[in-house]
Structure 1
């Protein structure tokens, strides 16, 4: 794998957890909406995914959603969703999420979800959910 997206057609690459039922629901919707193949979907739960190839750790990818723009710039959290929905033509729905009050609420809500995602999807183990 390279640090750049191989296809110039993609406007964003999303790194998602293919074992997360809630995440998969969102990815299915985005795949359906992505009629112009503007999104590259990379499942971090597959056996052949190697976080080190991206100079990141598996924990970084699991802690919150990551995206990558064609120039190699990394984006995380709510900004990934903004880029994904803009890529499928829903930019008019994206711009209000940048307004100060809405932006802060979305960032806070996403952080709560990301921190509790494994617990919420019934995937806690001693290693993944135990408080140090």
Structure 2
């Protein structure tokens, strides 16, 4: 059986909650445990601000992965996405994915506002 990973996500982010909903559906074998960092009952092992600023995944040994490395670890835990997670292990792949992730983080606030407006207006 694959190792259980904990996925730390921002439950106040409409982009994040949609992606996590998809990951929950794809995680048919139960290899992922999802923790909403915004939940007041969350016992955050890292600074809450750090967990909210970037995507994080931790493994059973307590190792944390952040950004692109976290996505790749999560993908490897889901059979359908495992090939993407394995490709991310190729030399240079995580570096390139991390650059894309950092570019996404720059536009994330605008995307969040757009999605909140869309949800507010029933779209």
- TM-score interval for Structure 1 and Structure 2 normalised by the shorter chain: 0.7 to 0.9
TM-score normalised over the length of structure 2: 0.78
Does residue 35 of the first structure (1) align with residue 25 of the second (2)? Answer: no
Instruction: Give the whole-Å Cα distance in 2 for the aligned partners of 1:26 and 1:110.
Output: 14
TM-score (norm 1): 0.74
Give, in whole Å, the separation in 1 of the partners of 2:22 and 2:86: 20
Are 1:111 and 2:114 an aligned pair? no
Q: Deviations over 1:84-112 (max 9, x none)?
A: 11111132222222334543331111012
SS in structure 1 of the partner of residue 69 of structure 2: helix
RMSD: 2.2
Superposed CA deviations along residues 68-88 of structure 1, whole A, max 9, x for unmatched, are: 101111111111111111111
Q: Which runs of 4+ in 1 moved over 4 A?
A: none
Runs of at least 5 residues in structure 1 that lack an aligned partner in the other structure: 1-7, 124-132
8 A contact 1:10–1:40 mirrored in 2: no
- Deviation of 1:50 after TM superposition, in Å, equals 4.1
Task: Please name the residue that 2:77 is paired with.
Answer: 87
* Deviation by residue 1:18-74 (Cα, 9 ceiling, x = unmatched): 1111111111111001111100000011122243xx1x2221111101111011111
Structure 2 portions without partners, runs of 5+: 115-123
Spell out the pairing of 1:113-128 with structure 2 (5 A cutoff).
113-122=104-113
1:21 to 14, 19, 23: 14
Q: What is the SS of the residue equivalent to 2:19?
A: helix
Q: Which residue among 39, 47, 54 is the counterpart of 1:64?
A: 54
Report deviation, 1:17.
Answer: 0.5
